C-alpha cells in the first residue's frame, strides 16, 4: 500500500520533495546491513566500505527505503542463500554503492524492464511475493537526488545493482 502511495505521488509530482540533510552514508549502510543480517540467517553479508564517515546531502528515510528495497531483492531472489556483497567507494564525483547477490539472476530482456511499474520477471512464480514497485521507487528516489542507477545480471549466477549519489561539492554550504 505504501509503495502504491509513493508511486502515485511520484507520478503526479506532488509530495515527493526531498528533505535533504547531511547524512553519513557509511553509518546508514552499516545499520541497514545489520538489520538484514538479523533477518536472514541464510545469507552471508559482506560489507566493504570506507572506514571514515562520508557525509552526503540525503533524504535519510528515502535512502533507507532504497537500501531496504535493494537488500530485500538480493535476499528474496537468492532463495538458496549465498553471499551478498555491499561495496561502497568514492569515484569521480559520486559515492557509488553496489549490492551483489548470488541468486537467480535475470536475462538481458528482464533487466531492461526492471524499473517498469509493476514489472515482475517471473510473475507466474508464486515463490516470490511482491508487487513489482520496489525498483521503480528506487530509481525515482536516486534520480531525485541527482544520482544514477545501474544493473548487471546473469541468469542463475546473480545480480549486481549499483547506485551513485552526488558528493557535496567543495565550497558549497550546507544550509537547509
Instruction: Catalog residues that contact ligand ATP under the rule CB under 6 A.
Output: 3, 69, 73-74, 77, 101, 103-106, 114, 119-122, 130-136, 159
Half-sphere exposure for 129 (CA within 13 Å, toward CB): 0
C-alpha cell at 25: 552514508
DSSP state of 66: H
C-alpha closest to that of 4 among 167, 131, 171: 131
C-alpha closest to that of 153 among 98, 116, 95, 110: 110
Is 136 a binding residue for Mg ion by CB under 5 A? The answer is no
List the single partner that 81 binds among ligand ATP, Mg ion, none, CB under 5 to 8 Å by kind.
none
- For residue 109, what are the contacts with CB-CB under 8 A and spacing of at least 6? none
List the single partner that 164 binds among Mg ion, ligand ATP, none, CB under 5 to 8 Å by kind.
none
Find the shortest distance in angstroms from Cβ 18 to ligand ATP.
21
In sequence order, what are the beta bridge partners of 139? Answer: none
Find the shortest distance in angstroms from Cβ 117 to Mg ion.
13
Find the shortest distance in angstroms from Cβ 126 to ligand ATP.
12
Is 134 a binding residue for Mg ion by CB under 5 A? The answer is yes
Q: For residues 26 and 86, which CB has a smaller minimum distance to Mg ion in the complex? A: 86
- What does R_g of the chain's alpha carbons equal in angstroms? 16
Site mask for Mg ion (CB under 5 A), range 42-81, x = bound: -------------------------------x--------
**β-strands 82-91, 43-48 pairing:** parallel
Find the shortest distance in angstroms from Cβ 134 to Mg ion.
3
Q: For residues 21 and 107, which CB has a smaller minimum distance to ligand ATP in the complex? A: 107
What's the CA dihedral at 14, 2, 95, 93 to 10 degrees?
A: -20
Q: For residues 54 and 100, which CB has a smaller minimum distance to ligand ATP in the complex? A: 100
Q: For residues 103 and 147, which CB has a smaller minimum distance to ligand ATP in the complex? A: 103
DSSP state of 17: -
Interacting residues toward Mg ion by CB under 5 A: 73, 134
Amino acid at each position: 500500500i505504501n509503495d502504491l502511495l509513493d508511486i502515485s505521488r511520484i507520478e503526479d509530482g506532488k509530495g515527493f520533495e526531498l528533505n535533504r540533510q547531511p547524512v553519513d552514508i557509511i553509518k546508514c549502510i552499516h545499520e541497514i546491513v545489520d538489520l538484514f543480517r538479523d533477518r536472514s540467517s541464510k545469507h552471508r553479508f559482506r560489507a566493504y566500505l570506507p572506514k571514515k564517515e562520508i557525509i552526503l546531502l540525503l533524504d535519510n528515510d528515502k535512502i533507507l527505503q532504497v537500501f531496504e528495497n535493494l537488500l530485500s531483492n538480493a535476499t528474496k531472489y537468492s532463495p538458496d542463500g549465498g553471499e551478498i556483497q555491499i561495496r561502497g567507494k568514492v569515484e569521480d564525483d559520486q559515492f557509488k554503492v553496489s549490492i551483489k547477490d548470488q541468486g537467480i539472476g535475470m536475462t538481458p530482456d528482464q533487466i531492461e524492464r526492471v524499473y517498469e511499474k509493476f514489472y515482475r520477471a517471473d510473475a507466474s512464480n508464486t515463490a516470490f511475493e511482491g508487487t513489482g514497485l520496489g525498483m521503480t521507487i528506487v530509481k525515482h528516489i536516486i534520480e531525485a537526488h541527482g544520482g544514477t542507477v545501474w544493473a548487471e545480471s546473469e541468469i542463475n549466477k546473480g545480480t549486481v545493482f549499483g547506485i551513485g549519489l552526488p558528493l557535496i561539492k567543495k565550497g558549497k554550504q550546507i544550509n537547509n
